[in-house]
Amino acid sequence: MPIVGVETALYGVEDLAASTKFFEDFGLPLLHKSETESHFSLEEGSNVILRNLNDASIPTSKYVGTGVKETIWGIDSEASLDRLVNDLSRDREVIRDGDGVAHFLTDCGMALGLKVFNRKKVTYAPDPINAPGNVNRMNQTRKWRKRALPKTLNHVVFGVADYKASAAFFRERLGFRLSDHQKGIGMYLRCDGALEHHNLFLMDYNTPGIGGVPRFHHANFGVEDIDELMIGANILASKGYEPGFLGTGRHRISSALFSYWKCPAGGEAEYGTDTDYLDDNWVPREWEFRFGTMIWMQSPPPFMQGEIAWDVDFYKEFGV
């Protein structure tokens, strides 16, 4: 299980001060900031680094606009890193820097890095849930929170020209697993060393909101439960930030709760919690995109309103 998750999301931004303030308001722990960089470090050890879009350290790629310009994936050991680098070097340039990161471009022109990452264990303890006839919290109130404080960087999402071809690269060359397929929209992939439903979602760049060009869409940050998610959402709203395209709700694909927010650093930032966890016994499914998008949503857009047929099956292209 070489790849264990996202080690660093390197953003290229147009307004470093506004982008830094957003992530501080969002609840990410700020490690340091300067005139050229802001560095946030989460409890699991993953990083969010903001630099100006024209900074020399921002890699050149086919992906346009602001947002995550390089995703550095964490590797479990030097031996695993060497094995992946040796394989990738067969057909592309791989540059290893002084910090131990191996930089390269995917077949679809996405800038990636690989780095040894000791992903720290994070422990959450959500409050027990009460319901009539099923009492799990007696003479005990729920936690009283002040704000959201994400501890994990769970996944990143990009719009791509051919999501099946891009997914094939991640599966065949980097060992990712397919979790689910949203028909005509994209593929949800998880690292071979992680259990979250997905660590990467590759979307057709003709999906509404992507703009028909390869670009970053959003990053997901893990919080404990719906209370922390909603308190974070309330705080962002009170500070004048705007909800993202899908707002707040729960996906049917992955079962996860979500709250999306427009991010001045590029794309959207998402609070996420209560996702499905999978291992290699999981059988991938394929979904009609609207049916898979939500179980419920705070403010469904017009295309999500009305009757949506139940439409899900096992993914056929793997012969299941």
d(CA 101, CA 79) in angstroms, rounded, equals 14
pLDDT value of residue 209: 80
Q: In whole angstroms, what separates CA 312 from the centre of its chain?
A: 23
- For residue 163, the surrounding DSSP H or E stretch is helix 163-174
pTM: 0.97
CB 108 within 8 A of CB 167: no
pLDDT value of residue 318: 66
Which domains does the chain possess?
A: 3-120+151-318 (3.10.180.10)
Strands 243-250 and 200-204: unpaired
d(CA 234, CA 125) in angstroms, rounded, equals 22
Residue segments in the chain with a per-residue pLDDT below the cut of 70: 1, 318-320
* pLDDT tens-digit map of 122-181: 999 999 999 999 999 999 999 999 999 999 999 999 999 999 999 999 999 999 999 999
pLDDT value of residue 208: 83
Which tokens go with 259? 């709250």
The identity of residue 229, as a single letter, is: L
